[in-house]
Amino acid sequence: MTSRVAIVTGAARGIGAATAKRLAEDGFAVAVVDLDEGQCAGTVSAIEGAGGKALAVGADVSDAEQVRAAVDRVATELGAPTVLVNNAGVLRDNLLFKMSDDDWDTVLNVHLRGSFLMSREVQKHMVEAKFGRIVNLSSTSALGNRGQANYSTAKAGLQGLTKTLAIELGKFGITANAIAPGFIATDMTKATAERVGVSFDEFSKAAVGGIPVGRPGAPEDIANTVSFFVDERSGFVSGQVIYVAGGPKA
């Protein structure tokens, strides 16, 4: 699969960085996309240091013109992208009566509008290649989570987007699937601990108490699932949402 080019958004750190590194290990040339191109340097260096090929690209995924320019740059410098991992995300947590219009709009724009814009732009290359893999990062919060009306709505919306993309694009050899992580130890979950006013150790311990496998997830757990979905041999798996949460979710 060394001829394949993958784009991973929100890849400067956390799940996105782990996914970019894993796809590079799998043989992809990887476009490491994040809001600040400079922040992508660590991921790119890790990939290149391991013998892979990567390109740092700065873009606001909620801005159509920036998305178009980013994808064009990837196509020019790395080759036509046929794998897309929509991972970019932000948190603006608050209870409903405290949530501002901007809190709502920012989260919906990055998670949901961003995934739509990226998918619309990249699918052209996938259709031409008659091959494509789209993976959207949802969350167990799609099932509802206190203080996250915006985030939960966005992550639930991504599941609907995923299923619709699978239906519309399947005839072109393109699959679309979603991953809904549970508790994953990242900077984002650390920010959530700060929001609720507890130490990350306390926050993590409480979360692990409800996880059947008895440990928090790691970004690599999600990257491993992405690797499965984008594999050429996974072409009959499409429109699925898999909860990677250390136990069953419904």
Positions annotated as catalytic residues are 151
Cα distances (Å, whole numbers) of residue 245 to 141, 192, 212, 248: 11, 17, 9, 7
Cα distances (Å, whole numbers) of residue 136 to 72, 87, 166: 21, 7, 12
Of 29, 80, 77, nearest to 52 by C-alpha is 29
E strands along the chain, which residues?
A: 5-9, 29-34, 54-58, 83-86, 132-137, 174-181, 241-244
CA distance 49 to 222: 22
CA distance 155 to 245: 15
CA distance 81 to 122: 7
Q: Counting Cβ atoms within 10 Å, is residue 56 exposed (0-12), middle (13-18) or buried (19+)?
A: buried
Give me the DSSP letters along 146-177: TTBHHHHHHHHHHHHHHHHHHHHHGGGTEEEE
